[in-house]
Structure 1
Amino acid sequence: MERETGRKLSLPLAFCQERRDELTGLSTMTAFMEQAGKEIQVGGAAFLYFNMENFRLVNQRYGFQAGNQLLIHIAQVLSDIFGAVPMARLNDDRFVVMTRAAHVALEVERARTAIYEAEPRLSLVVKVGVYEPEAGVEDIALILDRAKLACDSIKGMYDRDIAWFDPSMEEALNLRTYLVTHFYEALEKGWIEVYYQPEVRALTREICGFEALARWRDPERGLISPGVFVPVLEDAHLIDRLDLYVLQRVCEDLQHIRREGLDVTHISVNLSRVDFQLNDMLQEVEIICRAHGVPREFLHIEITESALNENDAFLKQEIARLRAQGFELWMDDFGSGYSSLNNLKDFQFDMLKIDMAFLRDFETKPQSRVILSAVVDMAKKLGLHTLAEGVETEEQYAFLKSIGCEVLQGYLFSPPVPLAEILPILRREEGQLQLEDFRAAAFFDAVGAVNVLSTQPLLPPEEAQRAHPLAIGILSIHHGEAKLLYCSKELMRQLRESGFASPEEAMATYHRCTEAGCELGNARFWELVARCRRTRRVESTENVMNGNIFSIVMRRIMVDEARDRAAYVYQLFNLSRFGIGHQVRAVDVATRHLLQIYTRIDLFTSDGQSENLIVDTTQQRVMDLDSLSEESVRRYAQMYIVPEDRERFIRFYDTTTVLARARHAHNDHVTAIFYVRDESTTEAQPQMFIIVPFRLEGKWCYLSCVRRIDNFDATASSVPPFVGGGGRIGRK
């Protein structure tokens, strides 16, 4: 493709006759450097370094021949877009182009798009580094190094595809070179030190361990962050020397601590994926431990999650070997990689260290709390212990403790410190953080395994997995038709226990209850639905269906008035399943009959306390609002009793006169009828109220029962309006 006038670089005929790459037909590296060295004299040039980040997927999926064809296509795309300018294939999937600086971004985007469209199934990621040499910079090798530095600076970044060279990149390169060339000197001269950061038990706020961390204190460059030197040593395949050095120093320190007779706790050390590739790490660890007399239980091994690969059978085997020999294995920085869940499935660990990134926006992003809770819950269900890194505030500490995260680490407790600063802790000196008794570790591990987020916290993890599932349903009512959008297997089973052959049969009772009336058990369910729609609160009721007592808890999800649609989620509890022994079964049977007869049952005590025992969907649990019986009675009267009956109702519930009134009537109870206007109707309806006094553990108690009255005729009734109290029946 011909380039725009005035933008074409001068290209002598000799260039076309230079050596060519056999596959793509582009220049070789030697030919490119010769031509670029001549063209740079013109000035205004830009050098582009192209890297196809995930090109290996082409070879893996379609074979090397398909990969070669794609390389040829890429070379053609670059030639079409940039024209007859110096360009070359450096090696594999790397290309370089020398062009004019004007319109670089636009041309690069055109090239990236064309390359991507060549094989869209692979979502080929094209990264481009750009360097525009300053006046006087004519060393082509240096220029290409700087373009590559720019390209490497955005490696792995999913939101950046092009980068221009910045001098700070070269400073980073110089530092990398310094670190690699001075690494062994740093080890020999002690520039690399081992620091220890406490790990704190959330439940007790006592130190239960330490993590060993490397710090490079350089005489020329000062304190170098591990975030800088660790990746460099990994790339240079020197990280195993660092990790074995730290392990050696840790075992020396443990030996020193034990010789002094100080309390000892575990110390965790970090190992890299490269360590296992270059060494038999089990053998190396055991040699060092034996040399210093350090038992395995004092040493925990952390492996960074990013080092794991779901297809890495070798690493799985090495981790299994270490665990088989009694070493605890911890997954470090969980959540920092892109395959976290797969790693949990494919690798066996004892502890999950949650990456500190989850706490960075803890105060401003509520999603962090949800994610942390989910991770802790999941870990405990998998039988893993949990540790959260990066804890810096009391608020973070309180939350992590509340969700059952077992161990915490961060600057709230202590930064990493040298050995000299942890010795006072091990000596249990005054004013120091408390140290947990190492012998109590197993005890607290067992305590920490309790999943406080679980619906079955009393069961061990292995039994909780087999615990009875929840009976959950999501109900929709649309244009007068009820339908179960979701029905769990347990709900399906309980519906069958209730006498329904299918969810559809259960939903069909909606029409009968809204049109022609239905059984009391079905009516209560649909009354609960109506109440949820009105109150917008979580509502509950007890019910009897097919001889089983159920508790139903329901919440309205959403109402779409315009389309006459509403949705509800509810949970069923079969209370009849929880009977233990003959006495409980007798109470169970009696309660079934009570639920069929009474709409609510309340308990009052002679010391003024009250409690709701059973309440149907038409009224609230008043005792949740007022715990004292006198207050509860007055609130109930205000909420449900018609004004004409309220004072008489309050006198009826005067427990100081109940016994006298019952004896006067020659009964063991007192009875009265009042007009009630509850949440199921706008009309006042007569209901019978019964109070039964009895003694329990030497104290008088009073059972209050309420039932509806159908077809009531006040003039013909044989039930006195207020036994022992006189008065008329109130009217609506």
Structure 2
Amino acid sequence: MVAINQSDEVPGRWLAFLQKMPDGYQGNLPDYDDRSWYAGTVSFPDIRGDRVGYLQFFVDVSSHRNQVASSAYILYAGVVAIILAAAAFLFVILRRADSNISTRLNHLHYLAYTDPLTMLANRKLFADRLMSSLKMAADNDRMLAVLFLDLDDFKSVNDSLGHSAGDELLRQVTRRLNACIRDGDTLARQGGDEFALVLPNVDSTEQVAAMAKSIIQALKHAVIINGREVSTGVSIGISLFPQNGTTPEELMRNADAAMYMAKASGKNCFSFYTSDLTVSAIQKITLLSELKRALSQGNITLDYQPIIHGQNGKYSGFEALARWHHPVQGYISPRTFVDLAEECGLINELGAYLITEVCRQIHHWLIQGFDPGYVSINLSVAQIENEDFGEFISSQLTHYSVPADMIALEITESALMKNKDCTVAKLTSLGKLGMSIWIDDFGTGYSSLAYLKQLPVDLVKIDASFVQDIPYNPDDLAIVRAIIGMARALNLEVLAEGVESAEQAACLNELGCHYLQGYFFSRPLVSKDVVTAVGSRESESI
């Protein structure tokens, strides 16, 4: 409340005004040199309401000889009070704005150093932490470990369940990893399904191995995503400071190399980097890394080799063949990179990529008005054993509107027999979808009526090694005749691959082989040349 000197010169309306001033104002009108003064105080609050400063002012209200003058001074005091109140209000606004700006800057800083999906450190923050940890380790003569983690078969989760399921898997994996690490360790997501971990102040390799084992164990059990059990393993590569490098780049590179060695050793395990890695091993690791990059960038392409009907010489369908043109090494044999993918656990990713590309290409041809008949795709055992494979291939057929009977699935004899019971069950279910099942390289392994009649097979492919000398070698001729006879007895069709001469083709036709394939008819074609090639052959046949 404001106390004032109630002299006759102060109008009642101003007294009422002053008496209604807020509690933040305190004042009185003491006598000073025979005059009456109004003394006021304005407080400056901060954002929390605490007073951080104040200003006092004095206005002479009794020395004026008339009511108008006194009123003017009182009015002046009110204006000053209002100005000071506005200043205080502006002060609060500016403090609040400054706080908001500071909050926003802190949030931007957080985003710059944090992976938004997992809330872990990102590459940049990890690099900073690794650098500071290395300096501390060097100063204190301590050992440090860098672990590079790569989830096994993560792409199959994305392909079969969708990217949202893949994201949820990464979040659940992150929670399990966080439960394994110590205070002071730095866990970061490097991108995709890759993580990195810095372990400062380690006492022994055994301590590091124990950490790697605990991580593998933590990810051993399936997680539940959208009501489904999803399993994933992890391959871990480990490099040590100072044994395996003294810079962040060296340690990360060597940990990455060790991780690929873990993949090559069967996945879901860990491997320490060793300096005695052979040149060939390093080349293999490098090639695997480049194959991964080629898949992610869509640099694995498909050629299509025609399959010819033996009786009329017309195109019956095509076999899809993977091709990789390396930017430095040039053409790399499919046997080289497919075997590498199988050895290092990348075959499911490669296989899924090729199936998607085949479905996309068939869809494109159908839109153009071209019917390729069918396209055969080579499968591995790992793909068939993948519990989500049937659902995945079915989803791709639906997505690209490709009829199931336009797809033939090829699997080798040796692959079939690795896990026969599981393979037979899976192939049977795939056959029920409408796809045909072929046995590739028939005659090189377990060719017998006893097992052949158990398999849901539509066609057998005679291996090129038996076709090569068939016009001149009685043994090869006898083998091919026996295979064709066996297949006919089981109502199976027969395709001979590796036909390179007119003599071979004539001999096979005479034996009653249904389909022929080889360079005698056509080399593998790039997709854009298929329609033209078919048109030309149809014209020649008329």
Q: TM-score, length-normalised on structure 2?
A: 0.47
The structure with the greater share of residues assigned to helix is 2
